Chains A and B, each alone.
Chain A
Amino acid sequence: IAGITQAPTSQILAAGRRMTLRCTQDMRHNAMYWYRQDLGLGLRLIHYSNTAGTTGKGEVPDGYSVSRANTDDFPLTLASAVPSQTSVYFCASSDLAGSGANVLTFGAGSRLTVL
């Protein structure tokens, strides 16, 4: 089934540790995104990529980095995790080349707890 795969599903992490959340899509979408979702705040954009080889900062980029070496993969790295990064992380993709809505398709999410 075509879609987005995120890993891990859930992770508990000690503060100060490095962590990479993986995201892979098989829809050949050119754009990919990372959002975090916190209670009462909704989904907030961390980083995005319009096409392989390019990335951009979203609303809350501090403490996170991304890379886009190819079309399918868009990993999100926390270089030194802090408790405020405890959240549910959603990866999403969209087809910018198509006309119209440019609908986002989301992965199932990664629940990260930083202690």
Chain B
Amino acid sequence: GQNIDQPTEMTATEGAIVQINCTYQTSGFNGLFWYQQHAGEAPTFLSYNVLDGLEEKGRFSSFLSRSKGYSYLLLKELQMKDSASYLCAVREGDYKLSFGAGTTVTVRA
């Protein structure tokens, strides 16, 4: 089994930066994912880390430290459309993906 912890809510101003932390405990780590989910919609893939370090993709970056069981998702130059839930998910083995409860980010003008 896995424990995946992330903050419940975060609020930030348009144009700012927000960092969403995720900590996990797993016996067979095989990758960490971040998904974005707008209210009433399906989750969509944002990023994937399997090795330590930073992965950058436009305004979004994701970091992983396997030894610390820690990841963060960094959202830069926040826009109103970034208001959503961000889900941290850990893969154990080849296919099983377990999700955290999600962090709801509210972007204010």
A contacts, CB < 8 Å to B: 31, 33, 35, 40-45, 48, 50, 58-59, 90, 94, 96, 100-109
**How many chain B residues touch A (Cβ–Cβ < 8 Å)?**
23
In B27-74, the 8 Å CB interface with A consists of: 31, 33, 41-45, 48, 50
| Residue of A with least CB distance to B42 | A106
Which A residues are CB-close (under 8 A) to B94? 96, 102
Which B residues are CB-close (under 8 A) to A90? 42-43
Q: How far is the CA of A44 from the CA of B1 in the complex (A)?
A: 12
Q: How far is the CA of A66 from the CA of B4 in the complex (A)?
A: 27
Contact status of A103 and B45, CB under 8 A, knowing A42-B87, A43-B87: yes
Q: How far is the CA of A65 from the CA of B94 in the complex (A)?
A: 22
